[in-house]
Structures are given as structure tokens and as C-alpha cells.
Amino acid sequence: MRRHFDYLVVGSGLAGLYSAYCAAQHGKVGLLTKSTLTESNSYFAQGGIAAVTDKDDIPQYHFEDTIIAGRGLCDAPAVRILVNEGPERIQDIIRAGMQFDVSESGELALGLEGGHHRRRILHAGGDATGRLVTQFVLNQVREHPNIEVFPNGTLVDLLVTDGRCDGVRCWNFDRDEEDVFTASHTILACGGSAAIYKRTTNPQSTTGDGVAIAWRAGCEIEDMEFIQFHPTAIVHPKGDSFLVSEAVRGEGAYLVNMHGERFMVGAHELAELAPRDVVAQHIDQQIRQEGTGYVYLSLQHLDPQKIRSRFPTIDAKCKELGIEMTDRIPIAPAAHYTVGGIRTGEYGQTNIPHLYVCGELASTGIMGANRLASNSLIECLVFGKRAIDYTLPGRPGFREQPVADYALTLSADAQKAGSYQAVRNEVATLLSDHAGLIRTEEGLQTALTELEAVQARCQAETVSSRDVYDEMSRNLCDTARLILTGALCRRESRGCHYRKDFPKEEASFRVHLIQQQGKPVQEIPVKKN
């Protein structure tokens, strides 16, 4: 099928849905997504959304907490945009009818999470914030006459002619046919890459397709070495890696080892509420020392009734697994969030005109070397809108040139689905073994060499026509290579990138690392003002 839209949005997480909704005020929108409309990280987000709403809090405090967590790599102008415009976007969705949890006095109930020095986390349905916010925006998208949705279609290529983006090529698994969607403006919001690892809190569709495809199209890819591991994901044979939100520690839960000792006290001034990288590394250290595979999140000292009503989703999951949430939950870190991604400007614009990126796929410079908890849902709203604003008449992104013509070129051999799965398992093992919480030069080199062998085998299997499963395998390999290369080049430890052989932060590495096809890795300075 071939279709043309004013705006084409890829991804139905909060970033894609919100930018589609904003775009629909100005033109016809096509919204493409890989799976169902509700399969996204956004839908599974629990803890909340960070924005200043309390009278005793100010954007400057939110700015400072974000900068501290980012360990010297945050681009200050982007953080300023987030903390200043976040409250406006929250007010927009509240005015449109979104209901966040309120206290008995009727004021917004604000949670506390790791790295925040103030209570500023809005939540909904207790710990169902992502589901409720995403569903709220999804309902608006579904009702909007200007938006047409295309589920079960995977992005395969960006259409680029004369250096401009003209839309996307994708494969629809329901109809088993290729779709070419041209558009004046293309917004990629395909999320992160954490499901490329073995143990992850993400849904299975989060495999980094967007970053690989954008890299092949010539985009600048930034800081891919920073993969955040969430400290507290459940360890259980049937519910592996289900996330226990940071907000549980915000309500007072302790991290204890097998002897019941709180190991975060004395390790950091914020103890269990230290930034994620610090907590995850200490948990990992305990697990290695004790050889247990997990430590405990202990809630024994907290009011069980309050805990159950504040965290109904986690409580229900624990019950399903036979774990008593108000006692002790076995947990370990799991790959959770992709800090780096496609480098964007302050409006989500990329180095390819008419291609915009927002949400977890973007590297706006906000997260630095380590994302502050609950800063990503708010980033989706702020930058989902800014990307559309940039395209309006009179703005730098406004487009007058028509798009080019594109032929259909793809096929899909269902028998290749098996080889795709095999590549996925191999890549997951390589990354989990060598590019997890603790990295070394030797391990990263080994992983790169083995990855090259996997990729060479995929290429040998590829026949003359372009097969969708081959393209999906190529995405896995390219994304893994971007992570490994970044991790090899960054010979220091900073935020969520830890090198055992270079355990200290180095002033000379206070730079972003940019990877672009056909060019050596470049270092560019952090924007300080």
C-alpha cells in the first residue's frame, strides 16, 4: 500500500501518541506501530511523571536534581526546557481531563523517587501511571478524525532523497505486505533498545530498530553506551524482571542482603534513594559477593494497607507469583532504559531535514549519563509537542518541497523468522555477558568480534531481494554494535556506564560520543549553558 500524510509518526508509546495528537491539529497524520497500540514501555510505566506542581518546589530544583543524576553529561539548555515546559504540558493534559491521584485535601498527591530532593512525582491509579496517561492520550488519538492508525507494522527504512526525509518503508504483518508511507514530516518515536538484553523490564518490541535504521540513513547517534539498569526487577522463574518501581523505595522500602543488613546505608547520602546507577551497582556487588542471584527489597516495617493501596499493580503481580509484597521481594537489576539514541536539537530535529525524533529514542542531552527517575514520560510530552511546533508555517522546519516517488522493494519469508530469533538470542547473550553493569576492554572486544561473525553469517544468508526478517536481524546487530563501540570508546566510568578497567570519571570524557555511518567516533562538548 502507498499513502501520503502531512505527518507520519512511528511508535504508539507516549511520545508517538502525543506528537500524533499535536500534529493532528495541523494536518493529516498516519500513526504506525510495530505491535498493538498498547504495547509500549509507556504503557508499563509505573512510578510516575516528574514535573514541578508543588508551591514549595521550583523548576530550578528539578533542574539541579536532573543535572546531578546526569553526572556532568546533561546539556543544560535541554534540561531547562524540560523543567520549564513540563508543568505546562501537565496542565494541558489535566485541562483535557487526565486525572492524577490526589490527596485527601484534593491536591495532587506527589511521590518521591531516587535522586529527587523533593516530592514532585505525579502518579495515577497508584502505580499505573504509564497505563492511565498513555490510555488517556490514546483515546484522544482514536477519536481524532485526522489520525489513521496502522498497527502490526514494522519500520524497515527511512525514505531519504536529496538529504531530506520523505517518510518510511515498513512491513505490515497482518496483511503481509509492504507499506510505503510518504509524509512532509516524519516523527520517529520507536522507543529504546533495552529488550535487546536477556533480562529486561521492557516489552519485547523494544529492540532498537529505530536507532539502527536511523544510523543506516545517516543520522548522528549519541552516547549509546549508557544503558540504564533498573535496580529492582523481580527475580522469579515465572515473572522474571517485572519492575518494582523506584517509588516503593520512595515510600520507605529497604534494600537488604541475605543477612537482613541494609547495604545502601553509608554507601550514599540518599541510601536506597541514591541515583539508579549507584543503587544498581551496589546490588550487583552484593549479588556477586553472596552468589545468590538476588537481594531483597524489604517492606516488613511499612504499613501493609498503605503499601497495597499505593501499589496495586505490583501487589497483584507479586500475588500472582506467590510473593508477599509487604514482606520481602527478591530483586536484581535488569536492562531498563536507553539513555543515548538519535541526536536531536531542542525541537527534536535531527541532522536529516524533516526527520524528528522524540521520547526514549532521542538523545536530547537531558539524561546525561544517567536518567533521573520519572523524567522520561515528561520528556515524551514536552518534546512530542516541540517537534510539531517546529514544522508550522514561519518556523524553521516548515516544508514546501514535495516528496519523491518510491517503489515497493520488500518481501518476507516467514521461514526466516527462526533465524531472526536465533540472532536475537545470540545478541542478547553477547550484550548481557559483556556490556551489562560491569564492562571491560577485553569483554567488549570479544563481544564485538563475535558480533561481526553473527552479522557476517546473516549477510551470507541474505538473498538478492530485501527480506524483512533479514532487516530485523540487521537492526539487532547494528544496535548492539553501537552500544559496544560506545562502551569501548568511553574509557572511564560515569553514570550507568561502568568500566572495571577504568573505574573513575575522567574530565577528558566530559563529552558526548557520536557515531555516524562511515565516520570515526567523534567527541563533542556538553552544552553547559
Interface pick for ligand FAD out of 196, 243, 482, 487 (rule CB under 6 A): 243
Using CB under 6 A, which of 8, 14, 108, 352 touches ligand FAD?
A: 14
Q: How many CB atoms lie within 10 A of CB 463?
A: 10
Cell for 15? 511520545
Our CB check for ligand FAD shows the closer of 333 and 443 to be 333
Nearer CB in complex with ligand FAD: 148/450: 148
* Three-class SS state of 514: strand
Judged by CB under 6 A, does residue 42 bind ligand FAD? Answer: yes
β-pairing, 254-256 vs 295-298, is antiparallel
177-188 and 2-10 strand pairing: parallel
Active site residue 276: yes
Under the criterion CB under 6 A, does residue 231 sit at the interface with ligand FAD?
no
Nearer Cβ to ligand FAD (388/447): 388
Q: How many CA atoms lie within 13 A of 451 on its CB side?
A: 29
Of the two residues 359 and 486, which places its CB atom closer to ligand FAD in the complex?
359
Interface with ligand FAD by CB under 6 A: which range of 71-79, 376-384, 437-445, 513-521? 376-384
Instruction: Figure out which of the listed residues 30, 47, 126, 436 binds ligand FAD, where binding follows CB under 6 A.
Output: 47
Contacts of 145 (CB under 8 A, 6+ apart): none
Least distance to ligand FAD, CB of residue 194, Å: 7
Among 5, 7, 44, 383, binds ligand FAD (CB under 6 A): 44
Of the candidate spans 26-34, 95-103, 157-165, 497-505, the one that interacts with ligand FAD by CB under 6 A turns out to be 26-34
**Distance of closest approach, residue 242 Cβ to ligand FAD, in angstroms:** 8
Q: At what angle do helices 468-489 and 441-461 cross, to 10 degrees?
A: 160
Interatomic CA distance for residues 398 and 321, integer angstroms: 52
Choose the binding region for ligand FAD from 92-100, 311-319, 371-379, 390-398 (rule: CB under 6 A): 371-379
Q: Which stretch binds ligand FAD (CB under 6 A): 37-45, 84-92, 429-437, 463-471?
A: 37-45
The residue within the footprint of ligand FAD, chosen from 46, 53, 363, 364 (CB under 6 A), is 46
- Of the ranges 204-212, 322-330, 344-352, 434-442, which one interacts with ligand FAD (CB under 6 A)? 204-212
Strand, helix or coil for residue 523: strand
In the complex, what is the shortest distance from the CB of residue 361 to ligand FAD, in angstroms, rounded to a whole number? 6
Q: Determine if residue 434 is left, alpha or beta; phi over 0 gives left, psi from -120 to 50 gives alpha, anything else beta.
A: alpha
Contact 227, 335 (CB under 8 A): yes
Distance CA 390, CA 401 (A): 16
Among 80, 276, 343, 439, the one annotated catalytic: 276
Q: Which of 380, 382, 412, 513 binds ligand FAD (CB under 6 A)?
A: 380
Contacts (CB under 6 A) with ligand FAD, residues 152-181: 154-155
The verdict on 214 binding ligand FAD (CB under 6 A) reads: no
Distance CA 190, CA 127 (A): 24
Please report the sign of the dihedral spanned by the C-alpha atoms of residue 130, residue 131, residue 134, residue 140: negative
Tell me: does residue 366 bind ligand FAD (CB under 6 A): no
β-strands 110-111, 147-150 pairing: unpaired
Q: Which of residues 324-363 bind ligand FAD (CB under 6 A)?
A: 337, 359-361
C-alpha 58/C-alpha 407 separation (Å) is 53
Q: How many CB atoms lie within 10 A of CB 401?
A: 12
Using the rule CB under 6 A, is 201 a contact of ligand FAD? yes
Confirm or reject binding of residue 195 to ligand FAD (CB under 6 A). Answer: no
How many of the chain's residues bind ligand FAD (CB under 6 A)?
Answer: 44
By beta-carbon proximity to ligand FAD, the closer residue of 115 and 443 is 115
Residue 84 exposed, middle or buried by CB count within 10 Å (0-12, 13-18, 19+)? middle
**Percent of the chain as helix, strand, coil, to the nearest 5:** 35, 20, 40
- Taking the CA atoms of residue 39, residue 45, residue 50 and residue 56 in that order, the dihedral angle to the nearest 10 degrees is 140
In the bound state with ligand FAD, the residue whose beta carbon lies nearer, of 356 and 502, is 356
Question: What is the CB neighbour count within 10 angstroms for residue 264?
Answer: 21
Q: Which of 7, 9, 16, 484 binds ligand FAD (CB under 6 A)?
A: 16
Residue nearer to ligand FAD on the CB measure, 33 or 455: 33
Q: Indicate whether 199 belongs to the interface with ligand FAD (CB under 6 A).
A: no
Under the binding rule (CB under 6 A), the answer on residue 370 touching ligand FAD is no
Give pairs for 343-348: CB < 8 Å, separation 24+.
Answer: 343/219, 343/220, 343/221, 343/222, 343/512, 343/514, 344/383, 346/77, 346/78, 346/81, 346/386, 347/383, 347/386, 347/387, 347/389, 347/390, 347/397, 348/187, 348/383, 348/384, 348/386, 348/387, 348/390
Active-site residues: which are they? Answer: 276
**Binding residues for ligand FAD (CB under 6 A):** 10-16, 32-35, 39-42, 44-49, 129-130, 154-155, 189-191, 201-202, 205-206, 209-210, 243, 337, 359-361, 374-377, 380
